[in-house]
A = this chain, B = another copy of it.
Amino acid sequence: MTIRTRLTERLRIRHPVLSAPMAWAAGGRLAAAVSNAGGLGLIGGGYGDRDWLTREWAQAGNAVIGCGFITWSLDRKPELLQVALANAPRAVMLSFGDPRPYAEAIRSASAALICQVQTVRQAREALEAGADILVAQGSEAGGHSGTRATLPLVPEIVDLCAAEAPETLVLAAGGIADGRGLAASLMLGADGVLVGSRFWAAEEALVHPNALSRAVQASGDETLRSSVVDVVRGVDWPPPYAIRTLRNGFTERWHGQEEALAREGDAVRQAYADAAARGDMDTAAAIVGEAVGLIREIRPAAAILEAMVADAETWLVGGAGLVRPG
């Protein structure tokens, strides 16, 4: 069995599930594993490292995958879009910026243009850019997000598309880590889901084992959306975006003290980078969303995807069974 939606038709995939293009974590092996299992895997173009991107595309082998970029970062190195397009991506996803400068090139390469948005206003702009697919992302997501929540954001954007661009698909993102989240998203009117944290905790993801160990023990109560991690990494994110991570000693020390942290300078930055490299998770914060509380083990991406879809099928069939003669 499987779940058929407009997304599976449009992207010619078996399951209505995309893996998020998580910067540094979503390399070619993860993307290929998701695609080979019937979803669509997206490499994380992230902050624009050409060598990393080229290497990870090679790691994906012959799998049909896609790629995602942080748009404001791509603005600084727009030539990286060609690195992705040269690999014949099934889709290119743009998040956190104006997609219009890139829309024509993506369409000309026969890739689906996916625009991730955090508000209804941004959704309107993405429709003007000619997006094929909108990802409505809630602030419960891991990594960067806006301030709206997935559950009410998705149907509002679904309504917008139904009224103004009925051929445009909508995916839900943020807080979705299992079959329940997939089934719920379909009930909200989404055509599928984009999943981050659950695939971050896949065997194929490029994540330090110590970060994974923390994540599988954590409740969603233990995450924090803050600018601390961006400030200490020297990554110049524009407001209102912030990054959700697990709380740790470092985020507790500096959250609300970001300006003081910025004044600490290179020493604390280098110490943070070293901590991340060696897996000191009391300093380097694991980049996951609230759905971390639903993640209890590290598994291969294919097993994650298969369980998610099978569970969603069970919930969907069971849901219809709740409807009874009154």
Binding site for B on A (CB under 8 A): 1-5, 14, 119-121, 138-140, 148-153, 155-156, 159, 174-178, 180-181, 183-189, 219-221, 289-291, 293-294, 313, 315-317, 319-320, 322-326
Contact = CB atoms under 8 A, between A and B. Distances in A.
Given A138-B151, A149-B290, A159-B294, A1 B325 contact: yes
A319 B322 contact: no
Contacts of A294: 152, 155-156, 159
Contacts of A180: 155, 187-189
A170 B148 CA distance: 23
Contact of A319 (B14, B138, B316, B325): B316
Contacts of A140: 148-149, 151-152
A317 to B, nearest CB: 5
A273 to B, nearest CB: 29
Contacts of A324: 1-4
A183 B319 contact: yes
A320 B2 CA distance: 11
A174 B290 CA distance: 16
B1 A326 contact: yes
Contact of A320 (B138, B221, B320): B320
A151 B148 contact: no
The CB with the most chain B CB atoms within 10 A, among A3, A322, A324, is that of A322
Contacts of A289: 152
Given A148-B140, A156-B293, A221 B119 contact: yes
A49 to B, nearest CB: 31
B176 A151 contact: yes
A176 B178 CA distance: 20
A140 B140 CA distance: 11
A78 B68 CA distance: 55
Contacts of A138: 149, 151
Contacts of A183: 187, 319
A150 to B, nearest CB: 5
A180 B154 CA distance: 10
A294 to B, nearest CB: 6
B152 A120 contact: no
B319 A323 contact: no
Contacts of A5: 322
> 9 closest A-B pairs (Cβ-Cβ)?
A320-B320, A140-B149, A152-B175, A2-B326, A151-B175, A183-B187, A184-B184, A184-B187, A152-B290
A325 B155 CA distance: 28
Nearest to A314: B323
A192 to B, nearest CB: 10
Contacts of A320: 316-317, 319-320
Given A1-B324, A293-B120, A322-B4, A150 B149 contact: yes
Given A149-B138, A155-B294, A184-B151, A316 B326 contact: no
A176 B325 CA distance: 24
A247 B322 CA distance: 39
A146 to B, nearest CB: 9
